[in-house]
């Protein structure tokens, strides 16, 4: 069954669906942040139901065997489990028939006995890739969510939902001011709503629905003034411009102001992947880059012309591991290394 992102996001609202999401889910798209937001919303109900959440990186067929082995090892008295599988390796209909059969068995069993969940996070499947055996299996026996927002009204609807989660509602003028201030950047707008919630929202215990506090233009302006001196939007501009000194200042300030490392990593990942795609001939416009920022991306692409950017993927992976506490290296040290790499400064050579 196929769902658009907003439908899935609304259905995952705990007040709308107190029953946790179970079975086989495929969340595919090129906006990692949308996948992250949907999983976070689902996780509220998972945790309320006492379900254990585990993440497994998918790098090859053995990784899929490990995922399925986790479910096979569950006994009648084990706790319910959610496994979030993320990676580029998808079971092939010719080589991985046993894995596909095992996934089909899990999905059909979960339909009859909805106890556990397998959430697969993947880059977007285009029309051709949607003919693959893996995609068709997920579509027939599970839920497939297209994690993208094309229309401006969809982005606005998502922000309205986030504001409600924070206990906020904005007047029409305040919404217009917020969207103008953040240049329709979802992450920047989300960060602003998050900070406004600390200033004005009235907290409510789960699962009670919070009483919405109306924010007008004056209150929004106060929230914008109280934001950090720098944002991840400023970090992106500094990296793309190759201003390494400014990158260091912004990173220090973001760390000091307790900016969530996951949001910083999202900015790094977005810019690094865009530059990797441009190196293969993809135009900035086709990547959805704002016209006002295309010159910055082209400047950065020219700076890295002829370089092998494959190491960036490994660096992003290490940043993600550090955020999750899987490696000992300090997360902000790795984030700085990645930001400077985009700016054209290499701290360490392999």
* Per-residue pLDDT tens over the stretch 236-263: 999 999 999 989 989 988 898 888 899 9
User: CB–CB of 304/223 below 8 Å?
Assistant: no
Domain limits, the chain: 2-146, 152-225, 232-343
DSSP sequence for 41-103: HHHHHHHHTT-EEEEEEE-SHHHHHHHHHHHHT--TTSPPEEEEEEES----TTT-HHHHHHH
User: CB–CB of 28/85 below 8 Å?
Assistant: no
The predicted-structure confidence for 105-124, as pLDDT tens digits, reads as follows: 999 988 888 888 999 999 88
- Residue 178: pLDDT over 60: yes
Token pair in block for residue 24: 């086989």
What is the spatial distance between Cα 64 and Cα 70, in angstroms, rounded to a whole number?
Answer: 10
- Residue 62: pLDDT over 90: no
Buried b or exposed e, range 71-81, using 16+ CB within 10 angstroms: beeeeeeeebb
Q: What local confidence, expressed as pLDDT, does residue 227 receive? A: 53
- Residue 47: pLDDT over 60: yes
Buried b or exposed e, range 19-47, using 16+ CB within 10 angstroms: ebbbbbbbbbbbbbbbbbbbbebbbbbbe
pTM of the predicted protein model: 0.64
Q: Mapping DSSP to helix (H, G, I), strand (E, B) and coil, where does residue 121 land?
A: strand
- Residue 230: pLDDT over 90: no
pLDDT over 90, % of the chain: 41
pLDDT band at 205 (very low <50, low <70, confident <90, very high): low
Q: What local confidence, expressed as pLDDT, does residue 340 receive? A: 96
Q: Mapping DSSP to helix (H, G, I), strand (E, B) and coil, where does residue 217 land?
A: helix
Mean pLDDT across 221-232: 68
What rounded mean pLDDT belongs to the chain?
87
Give the residue with greater pLDDT, 209 vs 277: 277
Mean pLDDT across 123-142: 92
Report the CATH number of the 2-146 domain.
3.40.50.300
Mean pLDDT across 124-147: 92
Place of tokens 């260091």: 248
pLDDT over 70, % of the chain: 92
C-alpha count within 13 angstroms, C-beta hemisphere, residue 256: 10
φ, ψ (nearest 5 deg) of residue 233: -65, -40
Q: What local confidence, expressed as pLDDT, does residue 118 receive? A: 94
User: CB–CB of 70/81 below 8 Å?
Assistant: yes
φ, ψ (nearest 5 deg) of residue 327: -130, 160
When the candidates are 1.10.20, 1.10.8, 3.40.50, 1.10.150, the CATH number that belongs to 152-225 is: 1.10.8
What is the spatial distance between Cα 234 and Cα 211, in angstroms, rounded to a whole number?
Answer: 33
pLDDT band at 17 (very low <50, low <70, confident <90, very high): low
CATH architecture of 232-343: Up-down Bundle (1.20)
Q: What local confidence, expressed as pLDDT, does residue 207 receive? A: 58
pLDDT band at 203 (very low <50, low <70, confident <90, very high): low
Mean pLDDT across 182-203: 81
User: CB–CB of 265/319 below 8 Å?
Assistant: yes
Lowest mean pLDDT among 142-146, 206-210, 300-304: 206-210
81 Cβ neighbours under 8 A, 6+ residues apart: 51, 52, 53, 54, 70, 71, 74, 116, 117
Mean pLDDT across 212-222: 88
52 Cβ neighbours under 8 A, 6+ residues apart: 79, 80, 81, 82
Report CA dihedral (119, 121, 127, 131) to the nearest 10 degrees.
-50
- Residue 292: pLDDT over 90: no
Q: What local confidence, expressed as pLDDT, does residue 269 receive? A: 95
The predicted-structure confidence for 158-170, as pLDDT tens digits, reads as follows: 999 999 988 999 9
Q: Of 132, 123, 162, 179, which Cα lies nearest the Cα of 12?
A: 162
C-alpha count within 13 angstroms, C-beta hemisphere, residue 135: 16
The predicted-structure confidence for 69-119, as pLDDT tens digits, reads as follows: 888 776 555 678 899 998 878 888 778 889 999 999 999 988 888 888 999
Q: What local confidence, expressed as pLDDT, does residue 274 receive? A: 93
User: Is the backbone peptide bond immediately before 207 cis, with ω within 30 degrees of 0?
Assistant: yes
- Residue 225: pLDDT over 60: no
Listed as own residue / partner, the contacts of 88-94 with beta carbons closer than 8 Å and 24 or more positions apart are: 88/58, 88/122, 88/123, 89/58, 89/59, 89/60, 89/61, 89/63, 89/64, 90/122, 90/132, 90/134, 91/61, 91/64, 91/133, 91/134, 92/133, 92/134, 93/132, 93/133, 93/134
DSSP 131: G
Place of tokens 């990173």: 251
Q: What local confidence, expressed as pLDDT, does residue 75 receive? A: 57
């Amino acid at each position: 069954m196929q769902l658009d992102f907003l439908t899935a996001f609304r259905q995952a609202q705990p007040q709308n669906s107190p029953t946790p999401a179970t079975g086989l889910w495929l969340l595919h798209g090129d906006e990692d942040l949308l996948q992250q937001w949907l999983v976070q919303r689902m996780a509220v109900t998972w945790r309320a139901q006492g379900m254990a959440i585990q993440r497994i990186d998918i790098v090859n067929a053995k990784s899929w065997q490990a995922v399925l082995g986790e479910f096979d090892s569950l006994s009648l008295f084990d706790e319910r489990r959610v496994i979030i599988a993320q990676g580029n390796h998808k079971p092939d209909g010719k080589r991985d028939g046993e894995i596909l059969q095992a996934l089909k068995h899990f999905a059909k069993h979960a339909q009859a006995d909805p106890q556990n969940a397998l959430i697969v996070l993947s880059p977007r499947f285009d029309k051709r890739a949607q003919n693959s055996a893996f995609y068709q299996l997920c579509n027939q026996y599970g839920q497939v969510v297209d994690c993208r927002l094309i229309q401006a009204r969809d982005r606005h609807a998502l922000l309205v939902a986030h504001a409600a989660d924070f206990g906020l509602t904005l007047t029409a003028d305040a919404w217009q001011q917020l969207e103008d201030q953040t240049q329709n950047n979802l992450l920047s707008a989300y960060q602003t709503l998050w900070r406004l919630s600390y200033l004005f929202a009235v907290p409510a215990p789960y699962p009670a629905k919070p009483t919405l506090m109306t924010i007008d233009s004056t209150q929004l302006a106060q929230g914008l003034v109280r934001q950090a001196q720098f944002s991840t939007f400023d970090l992106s501009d500094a990296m793309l411009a190759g201003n390494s000194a400014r990158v260091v200042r912004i990173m220090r300030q973001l760390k000091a102001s307790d900016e969530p490392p996951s949001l910083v990593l999202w900015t790094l990942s977005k810019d690094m992947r865009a530059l990797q795609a441009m190196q293969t001939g993809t135009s900035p416009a086709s990547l959805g880059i704002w016209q006002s920022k295309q010159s910055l991306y082209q400047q950065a692409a020219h700076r890295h012309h002829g370089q092998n950017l494959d190491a960036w993927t490994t660096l992003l992976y290490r940043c993600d591991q550090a955020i999750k506490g899987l490696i000992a290296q300090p997360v902000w040290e790795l984030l700085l290394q990645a930001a400077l790499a985009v700016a054209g400064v290499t701290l360490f050579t392999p």
